[in-house]
Structure 1
């Protein structure tokens, strides 16, 4: 039997080694591509965890190596095209962002806002925590161009995705968005009282707080609320003056009852910033007053109230009493 010795000429030796290395690398490429193809056929994607092995083949590590080769500009166009045909994502960070962005888009379709509470989840993704993270400084990545692209993608879903840049909290933005939706769906502003909720949030109570603390809001917040017809709670002096006017224009026991009701209503609005519900009972120094029922009765007998009484109620923000 004939035996061929390894070449002894240095040039031949170098060529022989190069061939062996190239042949081994080519075989590894084919094994990697075949493993990637099998994974893609089974899972319908190529987002392979680094530690994953396809059978005995370390597919996750191999794909990581290919991404590194691609970023270094050392991969041939033919190989890059072959991997792209299988659906490789060259930048895994971008792939994760796109997955979370899809969840954010689904959340917006359901809630009409990206001001999600931190614990919110949809499509099995903790979208609330993710949105909290990306709102933080450098939360969209340290690369300015990439961060700008990501911010634009979020703004395309909801222009107010990051309310802190406008000077208010995520919680304020969420309640404002829900109030806007209630009004757009036909709810009257006068009917948004404490206890009126949407998606589990008490919008009525929030609205009462906004009226009470209107002067503490920034200019844009005030403008947004004003566009919805929301005004600050009346000054206490105006209420007291209204109550005084009503007593001087209405004689007898009716004047006393009206004054007591107006006092109770003024006290409630001063504290809560909105109108009481029908069942509300206000505590006065001389005992409880059924303020909600009293206000409903005044509405029913509106035609019998004099101009002073109507003016006093209108000054407190009772819409049906206004001329």
Structure 2
């Protein structure tokens, strides 16, 4: 922190807002261990969540100095929060699939403390994987790698039908139905 202080205040003087934002981010990161800051979060009186959002926007627009980007990366900023959130939810979907054998989860289903059922319901909607077609295709491929039938509507049937199909298949695979059926 001392080296950063000297760098910002003596060697490379910066705008006061940048310094306040960076220092607030450093305090948050030291206390929380990450920079996953909600947009509305205030660090003291400083609007840190909004400031970080502004920094992401500046980077995307090509308006951020490379040193600033590097300094924020050192603190652990996540530049694309949508992809980071998708990755967390995808991990929860994998955990759910490992247990249930399907991604046809009911809305109330959770995995890894994430509302995976509601998330899957949302991403099955139009533009649920994002408006960018390249990003949406990449996300669909990641979901298909977990469960090729993750979006039953595309295949022509409902999520409810998919759930029943998975249960029936499991019963057949286990031989439970064959053992209970007469001769």
User: What's the TM-score, normalizing by structure 2?
Assistant: 0.84
Asked whether 1:190 is paired with 2:168, we answer no
Consecutive aligned runs of 4 or more in structure 1 exceeding 3 Å deviation: none
Q: What residue is the counterpart of 1:118 in the other structure?
A: 107
Q: What residue is the counterpart of 1:180 in the other structure?
A: 169
Deviations 1:32-86 (A, max 9, x none): 2222122122222211112212123221121111111101101122211221222
Deviation at 1:23, TM superposition (A): 4.8
What secondary structure is seen at the aligned counterpart in 2 of 1:49? coil
What secondary structure is seen at the aligned counterpart in 2 of 1:125? coil
Larger relative contact order (Cα-Cα within 8 Å, sequence gap ≥ 6): 2
Q: What residue is the counterpart of 2:26 in the other structure?
A: 37
What secondary structure is seen at the aligned counterpart in 2 of 1:65? helix
Q: Distance in 1 between matches of 2:165 and 2:179?
A: 16
Asked whether 1:101 is paired with 2:90, we answer yes
Deviations 1:128-171 (A, max 9, x none): 11111111111111110010011111111111100111111111
Deviations 1:98-134 (A, max 9, x none): 2221211111111111011122122332211111111
Counting only pairs closer than 5 Å after superposition, residues 1-323 of structure 1 correspond to structure 2 as: 23=13, 25=15, 27-184=16-173, 186-191=174-179, 320=183
Q: Any gaps of 5 or more consecutive residues in structure 1?
A: 1-21, 193-274, 276-317
Q: For structure 1, which segment, 92-101 or 45-54, has the greater mean C-alpha deviation from structure 2 after superposition?
A: 92-101
Count of aligned residue pairs for this structure pair: 172
Q: Distance in 2 between matches of 1:110 and 1:43?
A: 31
Deviations 1:173-220 (A, max 9, x none): 122222323333x3243246xxxxxxxxxxxxxxxxxxxxxxxxxxxx
Contact 2:59 2:69 in 1 (8 A): yes
When residues 120 and 28 of structure 1 are mapped into structure 2, their CA distance, relative to the original with a 3 A threshold, is same
Deviations 1:4-28 (A, max 9, x none): xxxxxxxxxxxxxxxxxx9561x33
Q: Any gaps of 5 or more consecutive residues in structure 2?
A: 1-11
Q: Distance in 1 between matches of 2:159 and 2:78?
A: 32
Contact 2:172 2:178 in 1 (8 A): no
- What do you get for the CA RMSD once the two structures are aligned? 2.0
Deviation at 1:29, TM superposition (A): 2.2
Q: In terms of Rg, which structure is larger?
A: 1
